[in-house]
Structure 1
Amino acid sequence: MSDSPFDFDRDVIETSFTIPVLVDFWAPWCAPCRALTPVLEAVAGRLAGRFELVKVNTEEHPEIARRYGVRGIPNVKLFVDGTVADEFTGTLPESALEDWLQRALPSPYQARLEQAEALISAGRVAEAEPVLRQILAAEPAYDPAAVLLARVLLDTDPDQALETLKPIGPDSDQSEAAEALRTLARLFGLLEHPERLAEAPAKSAYLDAIRKIREERYEPALAQLIELVRKARDYDEGGARKACVAIFRLLGNGHELTRRYRGQLSNALYV
């Protein structure tokens, strides 16, 4: 940090475009603030190079506190690329603070993840897989890399895709994508082992719809699955409905197919 007088825009906003900045809003009279200080400093030492720690005395800089809506202290905000990426108010034990930071901080492997995404977009999937495995070897809890690797493995090794997704829990911001991929991995496994499915009139159409999903022919797959929901909604423990939901999650809420077929699924469920 510069020896020149403190300048929030320079020392926090501008700096955060280069490295995340963790800002501790505090005051000398605040006992919880004083208790949090050594905790912040200990974690900052262990995660050196991942972020910079800046303390803002709200008594000396009330205008900054007002600008960022600080209503209680200690208030800790993480700035990334000029904006608040995450925050908390009050104190946290050291382990909880480190866990929060590990989730909130951008991964140092973000650029490598983007490289893998570019390779996949260019159809060079075989080159992307080792990049993703290297990322996860270095940072096993980097859920976006795990989700992307699972997508890569989905067609060739559904069981390994499921294994890759195991560490992703419901509190992860990748939980919905992971759940969609788990559903699809199980379905793709049924193509290899159709004997796992009960014999029923719906079986052939169900497997055919799964095959269409695997081929990324989502529109005919959805149409076929919704017809199965109408005629055999309990087959494979509601597998057709689960498959539709997985496709919607995979494509995203804004996708045309999601918007068009989500209503049709609802109608099929409630007729």
Structure 2
Amino acid sequence: MGFELQSFEEDVLQASHTKPVLVDFWAPWCGPCRVLGPIIEKLAKEQADRWTLIKINSDQRQDLSQQYGVKGIPAVKLFHKGEVIDEFTGSLPEMAIRQWLNKALPSEAKDQILQAEALIDAEDSKGAIRLLEEALRSEPTNSMACGLLASLIVFEDPDRATKLAETAGTGEPRFMQLSSAIKTLSTFLPLDLDDLPEEKGADAFKSAVLALEEGQYGTSIEHVIEVLKVNRFLLDDGARKLGVALFTVLGDTHPVTASYRRTFDMWLY
């Protein structure tokens, strides 16, 4: 895939009315440019549905460098509808660039995600799921949409939730912990309850998983705490893993977390 500039008017200004254009001002002698370049090119291929990359040799196009105030390179500028809407200078690690892109790129999906977050706060999960699915149809790799949807469908579709969480975790550090929690929950959902060892706490653990599958999170945590009281190390510390993962998915402000987290933590020590 070629990223070289042919016509600034066509490749950047006009093209940015159809899709955002990321312009990378660089030079062959610039060390940080050689570090940043491959990262930007990788992301451009991965996120081709969201934006286009154009690389400009600042030595050859000093006119453009001067026009757009390039004082140091690499200089990255994001164009939308013919105007620079965001920029950064210097080399950044891949994760930081992903975060910057997610924040800077304009899209209908962003509006849908904001609406979905409002519906989640209003406990309208079905409405939020519908909007997040729409957002992902236009931006399949959007970290925010992937992370939010994963947390909403983990109990109904743990396999898909795991894949979504993995995608989210590569783009947003805050979703890395969520990704790990969803993977943990998916090991218990569904769980072959007949294979549970006949030990103290086994019945309570079964009840915890069944309640979780039915969306009764408070009841599930109550049974998890029962297990912690009588057999902490059942299923290789399974009750602790299940409880921590559930609290992570629900979030700190969820009523179940607020009601049970302190008691749960007390029985860990």
Using the size of structure 2 for normalisation, the TM-score is 0.57
After TM superposition, list the pairs within 5 Å mapping 1:20-169 onto structure 2. 55-56=68-69, 89-90=90-91, 101-106=100-105, 108=107, 109-116=109-116, 121=122, 123=124, 125=126, 129=129, 131-169=131-169
* Structure 1 residue 206, shift from structure 2 partner: 0.8
Residue number in structure 2 paired with 1:268? 267
* Structure 1 residue 246, shift from structure 2 partner: 1.7
**CA 233–141 in structure 1, closer or farther in 2 if over 3 Å, else same:** same
Structure 1 Cα separation of the partners of residues 137 and 49 of structure 2: 20
Residue number in structure 1 paired with 2:190? 189
Residue number in structure 2 paired with 1:237? 236
* Structure 1 residue 245, shift from structure 2 partner: 1.1
- The residue type paired with residue 186 of structure 1 is T
- The residue type paired with residue 172 of structure 1 is E
Structure 2 Cα separation of the partners of residues 155 and 226 of structure 1: 20
Q: How many residues align?
A: 226
Identity of aligned residues (%): 27
**CA 35–239 in structure 1, closer or farther in 2 if over 3 Å, else same:** closer
| Structure 2 unaligned residues grouped into runs of 5+ | 1-19, 53-66, 79-85
Contact 1:205 1:224 in 2 (8 A): yes
Residue number in structure 1 paired with 2:178? 177
Contact 1:188 1:214 in 2 (8 A): yes
Residue number in structure 1 paired with 2:199? 200
Structure 1 Cα separation of the partners of residues 223 and 236 of structure 2: 17
* Structure 1 residue 89, shift from structure 2 partner: 4.5
Structure 2 Cα separation of the partners of residues 254 and 179 of structure 1: 19
Contact 1:33 1:74 in 2 (8 A): no
Aligned CA-pair RMSD: 5.1
Structure 1 Cα separation of the partners of residues 23 and 166 of structure 2: 34
- The residue type paired with residue 186 of structure 2 is A
**CA 200–105 in structure 1, closer or farther in 2 if over 3 Å, else same:** farther
Using the size of structure 1 for normalisation, the TM-score is 0.56
Contact 1:206 1:225 in 2 (8 A): yes
Secondary structure in 1 matching 2:243: helix
Contact 2:142 2:168 in 1 (8 A): no
* Structure 1 residue 99, shift from structure 2 partner: 5.0
* Structure 1 residue 236, shift from structure 2 partner: 1.9
Contact 1:23 1:56 in 2 (8 A): no
